[in-house]
Amino acid sequence: MEKKQTDSVNIIIEDRDSLEEVKYLITGFYGLGLCGYLTTKFLYDAAYNAKKIKRCGIIWSDTIPPVVEVDDTGKFRYPFEILRITNNAAVLLFRYQPSMNIQPGIADILTDLAKEYEITLILCGGIDINAFPQEERDDADIVYVCNRSFEKKYIINGSWNIRKSPPEVVVSGGIALILMYADRRDVPAVSLLTPTIARTGYMDYKASLRLARKIIEIFDLDLNLSIIEERIREIEAQRILRMLEERERRKKEEIEETEEEFGIT
């Protein structure tokens, strides 16, 4: 195995041949709506269901989260893995959020890897629906933020299949670091942002699924999301049921409080 190192963060390459076929590397962090993580996970799950997964390498650090996930074969998965999902695409899947102190190291070594293998970086995330003008919010769609190298390679005459982000939107965290490191290294990188709600702990499955579909469409990935879509329909149905049950519970409590106030038994 080949090891590339920078500071306390390493990429351990396990399968160079598979990595050499990768044209796009997709990743995302745990930001608004958890859209970055969920989108990456949906793409991974679609490939896993189709038995297309090939692990190319892992990210290693002294401060890696001390937790692993058990798969359906009884073996474990590392917290941060680079996995090929189609013939020409891979995901960097963060099964757990990397701490802020290693995110600059991840951005550094990831963009160094992308430069060496001539990979385009696709960074998934969410954008607060309130960032759009009031009249556009009902129809708000995925937008992009890119660096100069991506614009030069993919955006012809200032036009692309996705709209630019509204001005003055702030991109932060791991995505911002990767965009900056990629720009300095002349690595094409784009952040695709799906409209969501800025609510603590909210997991926006629908917005993340929309972004996964868009990535498959734009970059022509050989993946089928039908199983993921069915799973999300079930999750959303359960969420609606819980909301209705909670509404009924509150209504019942209000009626009981009113009856007690007026001495009705």
The residue ranges of every structural domain in the chain are 2-224, 226-265
Q: Which of 100, 107, 140 is nearest to 123 (CA)?
A: 107
Give, to the nearest 10 degrees, the angle between helix 205-218 and helix 226-261.
Answer: 160
Model confidence over 100-128: pLDDT tens digits?
999 999 999 999 999 999 999 999 999 99
Reduce the DSSP state of residue 11 to 3 states and report it.
Answer: strand
What is the number of other CB atoms lying within 10 angstroms of the CB of residue 251?
Answer: 10
Give percent of the chain with pLDDT exceeding 90. Answer: 71
Tell me, what's the pLDDT at 29?
Answer: 95
Thinking of the domain 2-224, which architecture would CATH place it in? Answer: 3-Layer(aba) Sandwich (3.40)
Please state, in angstroms and rounded to a whole number, the distance separating the CA atoms of residues 120 and 190.
8
pLDDT tens string 146-201: 999 999 999 988 789 899 999 888 899 999 999 999 999 999 999 999 999 988 88
For 119, phi and psi rounded to 5 degrees? Answer: -105, 140
pLDDT digits (tens, 9 = 90+) for 223-239: 999 999 998 888 877 87
Model confidence at 90: pLDDT above 60: yes
Is residue 264 over pLDDT 60? no
Q: What is the largest CA-CA distance in the chain?
A: 78
Spell out where 87-167 has E strands: 89-94, 120-128, 143-146, 163-164
